[in-house]
Chain A
């Protein structure tokens, strides 16, 4: 068998199966003989040292292979020799760059997650402080004579920077709401004839009779100012904030 790997190996190593030295007489003087070097290898076919040499597997199969993605590839997929000089000098490992960029993005997301928890903690702390705050007191805001039916007037309650609207409907009923739109705190405008409170900033609309948000971006109804009428005077006695 001319192409037998075992035969080829033995010929390359000058191993005579009969045990005879195949070289001419006298050539063995000085230096190791091929038989000496061949004797370092176990002649059995199944010996571990002969893996890759006997034709059962090519020698390169045991070399570590490189992942295709481990090879740096330029964005235009041309070989590095054809790339401009600046890219050859400052070659970027794009697959590694993608891996690191996404890992850094994950870090940024976790940082954002921490910021949201800080925001929740801030709301909780403000909630504790609000619970300890005393309720707003009773305050005279207008006289009935100053608010004829079908009109509205402004007042500040509970603080001087909390603008509110006192509205008297045509049937004489009194209503009061905070004037700050629940969207972005623009001042709402009462339109008594249309039965609405209109926010001109982003076209938010509240129902006049209840203060509920009925159109536009406002997420909550207007806070209701609780009223008390004593004689000819109108008093504000509390603020009722609502979610629905």
Chain B
């Protein structure tokens, strides 16, 4: 059984992939920004209920972003 040769993407294809990943990361970062402002507003209003779930959601976004960046650096 022979190993399947790894397909090498052209630079145009890689640039397209970078655009897609950047768009996705940008959406996640904007969501994190909204999450941070909403959490800060709630916390300053003495509402602690959202603090820990918001931290978890933001950390999940960061994990996703790191995964996408790792994929990007391997391209």
* Residues on A facing B (Cβ under 8 Å): 67, 69-70, 95-96, 98-99, 102-103, 105-107, 109-110, 112-114, 116-117, 119-121, 123-124, 126-127, 130-131, 182, 219-220, 240-244
User: Cα distance A120–B33 when bound, in Å?
Assistant: 10
- For A182, give its contact among B19, B36, B44 (CB under 8 Å): B44
B69 contacts across to A, CB distance below 8 A: 106-107, 110
- For B11, give its contact among A67, A121, A242, A244 (CB under 8 Å): A67
A120 contacts across to B, CB distance below 8 A: 35-36, 39, 51, 54-55, 58-59
Q: A120-B58, A123-B43 are in contact. List 16 more A-B contacts (CB 8 A).
A: A67-B10, A95-B12, A99-B14, A103-B73, A110-B25, A113-B62, A116-B61, A117-B58, A124-B51, A127-B43, A182-B44, A241-B45, A241-B46, A242-B46, A243-B42, A243-B46
Q: Is the interface of B mostly helix, strand, loop or mixed?
A: helix
Beta-carbon contact of A109 and B18 below 8 Å: no
User: Cα distance A191–B55 when bound, in Å?
Assistant: 40
- The 15 sampled A-B contact pairs (Cβ below 8 Å) are A69-B10, A95-B12, A102-B19, A103-B73, A106-B21, A110-B66, A112-B29, A116-B58, A123-B55, A126-B43, A219-B41, A220-B41, A220-B44, A241-B44, A244-B45
Beta-carbon contact of A109 and B45 below 8 Å: no
Q: How many residues of B contact A (CB 8 A)?
A: 41
Beta-carbon contact of B42 and A109 below 8 Å: no
B21 contacts across to A, CB distance below 8 A: 106
- For A243, give its contact among B25, B41, B65 (CB under 8 Å): B41
A116-B15 contact given A109-B29, A127-B51, CB 8 Å threshold: no
> Whole-angstrom distance from the CB of B23 to the nearest CB of chain A?
10
User: Cα distance A67–B61 when bound, in Å?
Assistant: 36
User: Cα distance A220–B44 when bound, in Å?
Assistant: 9
User: Cα distance A136–B47 when bound, in Å?
Assistant: 18
B19 contacts across to A, CB distance below 8 A: 102
